[in-house]
Structures are given as structure tokens and as C-alpha cells.
Amino acid sequence: MATFQTFRNSHMKTRASVRKSFSEDVFQSVKSLLQSEKELCNIYAEDCLKKDQHTSLTESVEERGKDREER
């Protein structure tokens, strides 16, 4: 029984250290990404839609919002 308990405790420590290591790696990746000055994407919806398409799209989105509020 003592052997099982020792194994279980060492397993828990390993899991915790893996979590900590993973968290630190993710933190470093996100930090690097935020510090990067490169633009990941600079395409805007307005660039892709003509003015009249943009207006009709905006109106349809507003109508959907009103329908949801009524429910």
C-alpha cells in the first residue's frame, strides 16, 4: 500500500510540473506574439465590400439583432 501511495504522489508532482511548464511556454508564446510588431492581417470588411453591399449587410445585421431582442 505504501508503494502505491508513493507512486501516486510522484505521479501528481509530475503532472503539476508538466502543467507549470506548459503554462510557462504558452505565456512566453503569447508574450512574444504581443510584442511582435508585425501585422498578422490587415484586411478589413470595408475593403472587400462595395459601399452598397456594406449598407445592405449592415441593415440585415441590425434586423437580425432586433429579431433576437423581440424573442
Q: Where are the domains of the chain?
A: 1-38, 41-71
Q: pTM to 2 decimals? A: 0.32
CA distances (Å), origin 23, targets 13, 14, 34, 57? 15, 14, 16, 41
Residue 27: predicted pLDDT: 86
Q: Which residues touch 46 (CB under 8 Å, ≥6 apart)? A: 54
14-55 per-position pLDDT tens digit:
777 877 888 888 888 888 887 776 666 666 666 666 555 556
- pLDDT(1) > 70: no
